[in-house]
């Protein structure tokens, strides 16, 4: 197996374990919860085929749903952002050359790009997740508040993790 595959398998396992044993236990203000496991989908290599991206997101969501006793909400949300991801990357970087060996992250793309990319996908994921979880319009304002605050909290953790584990180029 090549190094990149091992790195992504390790990232998958670590993020699922962190989500299950640490982040699922964090509840700020009684309802704000970070969903950092989606960092796996965000950081998959640019060359990842779309079918593999979708399958990986499905297995990721299934793992979280299984250990969180939820019924498919994480699967749907994860697969949805995996499906949107290639188009978003093309929209944010229309002249991107995949042959350059770039990895998604602050190191190759910079803070501004990574913040925008992360913010869009995390927002889509969280609003999808929370609305599927509640599935009622009578709790619209509460759901918007929970999704919005969880989105901000998750984005903050993801950006901090980028600086902790990936040194930006000078």
DSSP 82-142: HHHHHHHHHHH-TT--GGG---SSHHHH-HHHHHHHHHHHHHHHHHHHHHHHH--STTHHH
Q: Is residue 28 part of a domain?
A: no
The conformation of residue 71, written as its DSSP 8-state character, comes to -
Considering the chain, what percentage of its residues have pLDDT values greater than 70?
Answer: 94
Task: Supply angle C-alpha 11, 134, 140, rounded to 5.
Answer: 115
Q: Choose between 19 and 168: higher pLDDT.
A: 19
| Structural domain boundaries, residue 152 | 3-23+36-86+102-165
Q: What is the reported pTM? A: 0.90
Average pLDDT, the chain: 89
Q: Is residue 124 part of a domain?
A: yes
pLDDT band with cut points at 50, 70 and 90 for residue 118: very high
The conformation of residue 28, written as its DSSP 8-state character, comes to B
Report whether pLDDT(168) > 60. Answer: no
Q: How many structural domains are present in the chain?
A: 1
Q: Is residue 144 part of a domain?
A: yes
Q: Is residue 149 part of a domain?
A: yes
Q: Is residue 91 part of a domain?
A: no
């Amino acid at each position: 197996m090549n190094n990149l595959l091992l790195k992504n398998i390790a990232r998958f396992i670590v993020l699922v374990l962190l989500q299950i044993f640490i982040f699922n236990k964090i509840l700020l203000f009684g309802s704000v919860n970070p969903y950092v496991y989606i960092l796996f989908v965000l950081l998959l290599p640019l060359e990842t085929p779309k079918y593999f991206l979708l399958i990986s997101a499905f297995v990721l969501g299934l793992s979280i749903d299984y250990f969180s006793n939820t019924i498919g909400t994480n699967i749907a949300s994860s697969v949805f952002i995996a499906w949107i991801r290639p188009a978003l990357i093309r929209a944010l970087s229309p002249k991107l050359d995949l042959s350059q060996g770039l990895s998604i992250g602050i190191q190759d793309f910079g803070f501004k790009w990574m913040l925008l990319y992360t913010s869009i996908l995390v927002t889509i994921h969280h609003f999808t997740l929370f609305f599927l979880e509640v599935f009622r319009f009578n709790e619209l304002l509460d759901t918007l508040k929970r999704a919005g605050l969880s989105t901000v909290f998750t984005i903050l953790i993801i950006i901090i993790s980028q600086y902790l584990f990936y040194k930006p180029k000078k």
